[in-house]
Amino acid sequence: MLEKLNILLSDLVVEYHKLQNFHWYVKGSDFFTAHAKLEELYNYINEAIDEVAENILMLNGKPAGSLKEFLELSHIQEVDDRYHSSHEIYKIVIEDFQYLLDS
């Protein structure tokens, strides 16, 4: 169980940074709407990160803590630091959130 929780923690941390990257690099006519929504999403994920880590600690486990470990454990892939359209971003975010729900 602790191993699965650390994978979930890692997936959430990578998704958090991915959403923050998208927040910085979104472009298009709906920039302000997408920019605000992405901030809302990464703040939501940040709360989930804390909850999962605290649950690992309550189970006498050790939450993953380094970026290297998060990247090794995560099934969510990072994105390049380049501009993306909101359409492209939403497609990727929906896929990532579906993976998180399924796992």
Tens-place pLDDT, residues 30-75: 999 999 999 999 999 999 999 999 999 999 999 999 999 999 999 9
Find tokens 């939501």 and name the residue: 44
pLDDT > 70 in the chain, percent: 100
Q: Using 50, 70 and 90 to split pLDDT, how confident is the model at 86?
A: very high
Q: Using 50, 70 and 90 to split pLDDT, how confident is the model at 20?
A: very high
pLDDT of residue 33: 96
CA atoms of 12 and 39, how far apart (whole Å): 15
Nearest to 67 by CA among 8, 10, 2, 16: 10
Nearest to 11 by CA among 40, 53, 39: 53
| Single pTM value for the model | 0.94
Find tokens 């892939």 and name the residue: 77
Query: What is the pairing mode between strands 26-27 and 84-85?
Result: parallel
